[in-house]
Amino acid sequence: MATVRNPLEPMSSAVKGIVTLMAVLMVAGVVGLFVDGVNVHVFGIGEKSVCVMDESATVGGGEVPPMEFKPAPGATIQLDAHPNYCTDDPTTAQSLLHTTGLVPPFVFSVGAFLLVLRLIRGAEGDGLYTARTAGRLRTLGWWLLAGSVIAAITESTTEQSLVHSLSRNTDDSAVTGLLTWDMPYMAILTGLGVLSFARVMRIGIAMREDLDGTV
């Protein structure tokens, strides 16, 4: 009898490999924080400087900052397409803002990979066309839809708050971040597509169960 190949390949192996690699890098980063002489940082923890780019402002390149862009005391500014503020002596609040801005996108990405891994393992064990698989698919869809929006808003608000603390004459604040955050269109559309597919699966499963009951 011919062996039936896993219908979820090569996605199954790819996702498992990515999750394993992310776990190894995360553990290595955490261990590196406690090793003397090793310059390793995780979510900004361990970094000696903090930098943030103000993407809400657009300027031309140049070495001398225009009058409307002034760094706060202890901070520096570099101009390119957008002003980039840095400080080599961040306060505790600035370090926390920097870390807070890095965590949500990472949590969103890791959560998405783990939910895909959960979906794949569940489908391999329970089967593709089951109510449990459809439920796991629905959870993944909601994570992509809501998680991407929350991550984008959190990243934008913390970024603008950090810009406010490193600049002397900006009106940017957390409110600015709420008004100027970038819409994650691809993640939202993907989440909506996954939710629609999960609904189609649930309808198909219910129809199959009804047919099985009438036979």
Tell me the percentage of the chain whose pLDDT exceeds 90.
Answer: 19
Instruction: Tell me how far apart the alpha carbons of residues 48 and 45 are, in angstroms, rounded to a whole number.
Output: 9
| Lowest-pLDDT choice from 12-26, 35-49, 92-106, 178-192 | 35-49
What is the mean predicted confidence (pLDDT) over 32-46?
Answer: 57
Q: Compare 117 and 36 and report the one with higher pLDDT.
A: 117
In this model, does residue 136 exceed pLDDT 60? yes
Q: How confident is the model at residue 2 (pLDDT cuts 50, 70, 90)?
A: very low
Q: Which of 122, 121, 141 is nearest to 131 (CA)?
A: 122
With beta carbons less than 8 A apart as the criterion, state whether 164 and 172 touch: yes
In this model, does residue 195 exceed pLDDT 80? yes
